[in-house]
């Protein structure tokens, strides 16, 4: 599960960095992608627990 924890940490870092972007459209696109990735991580956690 260390890999999934690392993936979550990476997503948090990307989220923090994306807040600094000027483009609202780009921030929103990144947020959508982050949400999709978090859902995938949740599914993997359920699968492996």
**Residue-by-residue pLDDT tens, the chain, 49 positions:** 899 999 999 999 999 999 999 999 999 999 999 999 999 999 999 999 8
* Cα–Cα distances in angstroms (integers) from residue 20 to residues 16, 32, 38, in the given order: 7, 16, 21
Domain, as residue range, for 31? 22-49
Number of domains in the chain: 1
Structural domain includes residue 10:
no
Give the span between the Cα atoms of 22 and 19, in whole angstroms: 8
Structural domain includes residue 40:
yes
Report the pLDDT value the prediction gives residue 40, as an integer from 0 to 100.
98
What global pTM score does this model have? 0.87
Report the pLDDT value the prediction gives residue 21, as an integer from 0 to 100.
94
Structural domain includes residue 1:
no
Structural domain includes residue 37:
yes
Q: CA nearest 37: which of 16, 5, 7? A: 7
């Amino acid at each position: 599960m260390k890999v999934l924890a690392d993936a979550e940490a990476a997503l948090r870092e990307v989220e923090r960095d994306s807040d600094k972007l000027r483009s609202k459209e780009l921030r929103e696109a990144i947020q959508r992608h982050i949400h999709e990735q978090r859902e995938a991580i949740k599914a993997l956690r359920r699968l492996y627990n």
